[in-house]
Amino acid sequence: TKEDLKKKLDKIDGKGYKAYKDLEGEYEFEKFILYIDHVQGDPFAPPSRIRVKVPQNIADFEFSMYNNPSRQVALEDFLTRSVFEVIKRLPSLKGTGHSGDIYIDKGGQQIIKRSAMVVNKDYVEARLSIGLPAFGRRINGSGAQRIFLEFLPQIVEKSLLKKSLNVQDIWLWVETVEDQDYLRSQLKERGLVAFVADGAILPRESGISDRPLKGGNVVPFESPDSLRIKFQLPNRGEITGMGIPEGVTLIVGGGYHGKSTLLQAIQKGVYNHIPGDGREFVITVADAVKIRAEDGRRIEKVDISPFINNLPNNVDTTRFTTENASGSTSQAANIIEAIEIGTSLLLLDEDTSATNFMIRDARMQKLIAKKEEPITPFIDRVKQLYKDNGISTILVMGGSGDYFDVANCVIKMHNYRPYDVTQEAKKIAKEFKTNREVEGNNEPIVIKPRIPLKKGLEVKGKKIKSKDEDTIKFGYQEIELDYVEQLVDKSQTNAIGEIIRYIASKYVDEKSSIKEILKKVYKDIYEKGLDVVSSFYGKHPGNLALSRLQEVAAALNRLRSFTVK
């Protein structure tokens, strides 16, 4: 019980930090059970991990607040943020190293399934990290007593019991997330790949902040009449906005008129956003993949031949391997890998694409004959991708009108407002022929799924750990994820590291493809929860947030030791 914990703390006060290890175990409090799962070795080590479990009859959340997956994620997210707010207002007990810190893994602007909070019919459980307090390397017993016996009960009292929370805010969270998931589930039926609500705020505070831009100069989104559609949402009711149809959509317009901002909002639209973000109702099909050039990345036996052929030295492009891809080969590989794992929408921006991958105009075709040019540009595949593979594309292209011929929707951004210029663009395409030859062939793009081998996933050296949002340490190697733009949370990166370890120990049988393996992992996650991929399953699992299989595959594809059959 709580008294046992107090006795232990009295006993170890002033001793060397290692004596804290005695605390590991379970303690019953009046309203919750405290689990001290892991105690750090010294004040500079990663903080200790604890869980606080409140029985649902005490927490008292109505079942309807979490009775479907959308609502459950929303309530869990809401409670995590509530805990965070309470922690923020606690007095500081900061000592040596990280000692005195109390932490919960709250998300950013997105609402994603994370391991920090679990709500179910039986209990509410918060997973916290605590830097056990120290003076130098000695135990600060009275500090620890304050944290465990005073602060934790306060955190529970103020943020994990329904009676202390603003129930209206809870419902706002729950209903907004449910509406977002509902809208996303309706896109396909309506023949759409994305939706941008009227009134949405797309621009962000800065290049390093995901929060909404504020101030009088922000232009809220306003859909053009011809693309405006309505949805009936289960909670919010009617909503209007711009529907982007399946097929090939171009976003055009002058520099600095908001093209990339629109595309970036769309690429994040695979996630739900918190109320007040501005992008709550910018909703994109869940499997959309941002494609960009990424020179320097590794490629492992990818069939990039639909885009690239006849490289110098007779390099085989049906099983293309390189330690150092070029702009165009990396962009081709990114597309093929997206198709391999499954996608219905590609998102490309001229700002981050290889020019020679995107266009090859009539004059260049005259000067450099097709047989001297390995690249079949994207313009000659984009329609086919839709026709044969059912994969739509949204493309930002302010620099070349050649794409007018292949687009079925053209949106112009002007002063941050969209205009439907499809008819105008078609007319221009008729009047001014590009005179370019269509390249490539009409063979459908068929991707043979690759089968991972065990040897490429062995961890040499220590372990798998995320270093920051964009890097996973994989033993002695590092997986660079800087250009995997739809990775939005450091805890997703953590989870990907864990998933790779989980896959390697469980599912790499040298018969299953990457996609088949990932499907098994996600089935486990849906059945047993996100914790299942953690090496500490059953205890505090670490700070994990769910990523899509697209991002896990992206990490595998960038692992330098990764090998396939």
Site of interaction with Mg ion (CB under 5 A)? 259-260, 351
Residue 71 engages ligand ADP in binding (rule: CB under 6 A)? no
Answer for the pair 530, 113: CB distance below 8 angstroms, yes or no. Answer: yes
Measured from the Cβ of residue 164, the count of other Cβ atoms closer than 10 Å reads 12
**Of ligand ADP, Mg ion, none, which one does residue 257 interact with (CB within 5 to 8 Å by kind)?**
ligand ADP
Query: What x/- string results for residues 415 through 454 when contact with ligand ADP is judged by CB under 6 A?
Result: -x--------------------------------------
* Token output for 402: 């050649």
* Crossing angle of helices 327-341 and 514-528, rounded to 10°: 50
d(CA 418, CA 541): 45
Phi-psi region of 141 (alpha: psi -120 to 50; beta: other; left: phi over 0): alpha
Residue 202 binds which one of Mg ion, ligand ADP, none, with CB within 5 to 8 A depending on kind?
Answer: ligand ADP
187 SS3 class: coil
Which of Mg ion, ligand ADP, none has residue 461 at its interface (CB below 5 to 8 Å by kind)?
none
Measure CA of the first residue to CA of the last residue in the chain; give whole Å: 55
| Interface with ligand ADP in residues 374-413 (CB under 6 A) | 413
CA dist 501 and 428 (Å) reads 54
Q: Minimum Å distance from CB 351 to Mg ion?
A: 4
Per-residue burial over 482-519, b if 16 or more Cβ lie within 10 Å, else e, is: ebbbbbbbbbbbbbbbbbbbbbbeebbeeebbbeebbb
Which of ligand ADP, Mg ion, none binds 203 (CB below 5-8 Å, type-dependent)? ligand ADP
Q: Write down the least CB distance from residue 204 to Mg ion, Å.
A: 14
Nearest Cα neighbor of 346 from 446, 282, 425, 250 is: 250
Alpha carbon distance 178, 70 (integer Å): 5
Residue 114 or 257 having the CB closest to Mg ion = 257
Nearer to Mg ion, 351 or 516 (CB): 351
Q: What character string, x for contact with ligand ADP (CB under 6 A) and - otherwise, covers 483-522?
A: ----------------------------------------
Q: If binding is defined by CB under 6 A, does position 257 make contact with ligand ADP?
A: yes
| Contact assessment for residue 449 and residue 516, using Cβ atoms and an 8 Å cutoff | yes
Cβ nearer to ligand ADP, comparing 259 with 297 = 259
With CB under 5 to 8 Å by kind, the binding choice for 459 among ligand ADP, Mg ion, none is none
Toward ligand ADP, which CB reaches closer, 249 or 317? 249
Per CB under 6 A, the segment of 2-10, 56-64, 258-266, 299-307 that binds ligand ADP is 258-266
The answer to the question of residue 259 lying near ligand ADP (CB under 6 A) is yes
Where does this chain bind ligand ADP (CB under 6 A)? 202-203, 213, 217-219, 253, 255-261, 413, 416
